[in-house]
Amino acid sequence: MRFVKGHGTGNDFVVVPDPDARLDLSPRDVAVLCDRREGIGADGVLRVVRTKLCPEVDALAGEAEWFMDYRNADGSVAEMCGNGVRVFARYLVDAGLAAPGEFGVATRSGVKRVRLGAEGDVTVDMGRPKVLGDSAAVVSGRAYRGLNVNMGNPHLACVIDDPVAGLDLTTEPGYDRATYPDGVNVELINLIGDRTVAMRVHERGSGETLSCGTGAVATAVAAARAAGETEGVWAVRVRGGTVTVTLDGGTSCLSGPAVLVVSGEFPAVL
């Protein structure tokens, strides 16, 4: 099985080309691929498959030839992945499956428009963030209030005063299971300057990651709200670099680097 490894600000993915929908990737297969000691190692898998061949999204085939079948490192399925879709777009263009410029990618959360910039950045229109109220997370024994933001996938974005650099995110934060019956991605955020924030994230199904695109947008929404704003361009500093989020009151855009680092063949178990 061929694979390509890529990342967006350190949020890393195994890209698995499966244009004709021949692979039946089980949760265990995905967990093996993502294992950092016994597999390739990644936060998730991006299966590249023709939209028209996947019954769960084939209605989107007119707008997007390719479906990003995203899986978390533990094998669970997620609706959307902001950094993943940027890496996916980079792969499509490098592999000659899409022309450089702007095009649509099908996801479980609808079609996302992506654009490859001249400087190597990839931008994705992430759609309108849905703000669903307040909730709370418990990290290192402390409870933090946060904003429930749905980006296709669930987020709890907490603007806090404690320095995020000092938090222990090795275990899953506590959260309200009635609010988030399918689990949640938790962002811890410090306001550090003019429309600039530092963010750490614990992802559902992957643990702490170096970056999270949907989480960066949820972060910008929570930070903007804390600053009494609804629009603007926010720099979100994550452990793996910086991404930029533009809020225009309607939609949201995520920009940042997306790079492919290695390709190869995975033998054996799959």
Residues contributing to the annotated binding site for substrate = 11, 72, 82-83, 153, 185, 203-204, 213-214
- Smaller CB separation from ligand LBFN2T5F, 174 or 193: 174
- Smaller CB separation from ligand LBFN2T5F, 74 or 229: 74
Stretch of 113-121, 164-172, 203-211, 241-249 lying at the interface with ligand LBFN2T5F (CB under 6 A): 203-211
Q: Give the separation between CA 125 and CA 252, rounded to whole angstroms.
A: 6
- Smaller CB separation from ligand LBFN2T5F, 46 or 164: 46
Residue among 34, 54, 158, 212 flagged as catalytic: 212
- CB of 212 closer than 8 Å to CB of 82: yes
Active site residue 54: no
Which of 6, 17, 75, 84 binds ligand LBFN2T5F (CB under 6 A)? It is: 84
Q: Give the separation between CA 153 and CA 50, rounded to whole angstroms.
A: 22
- Residues of the binding site: 11, 72, 82-83, 153, 185, 203-204, 213-214
Q: Residue 161 Cβ, how far from ligand LBFN2T5F at the closest point, in Å?
A: 26
Active site residue 81: yes
3-state secondary structure of 171: coil
Q: What is the DSSP string of 73-122?
A: TTS-B-S--HHHHHHHHHHHHHTTSS-SSEEEEEETTEEEEEEE-TTSEE
- CB of 29 closer than 8 Å to CB of 269: yes
Q: Which 204-233 positions form the footprint of ligand LBFN2T5F (CB under 6 A)? A: 204-206, 209, 212-215
- CA count, 13 A, side-chain hemisphere, 261: 15
Residue count (the chain): 270
Q: Is 6 in the site for ligand LBFN2T5F (CB under 6 A)?
A: no
Q: Which amino acid is at 109?
A: S
Paired sense of beta strands 231-238 and 196-203, if any? parallel
Residue numbers annotated as active site: 81, 212
Binding site for ligand LBFN2T5F (CB under 6 A): 11, 44, 72, 78, 81-84, 153, 185, 203-206, 209, 212-215
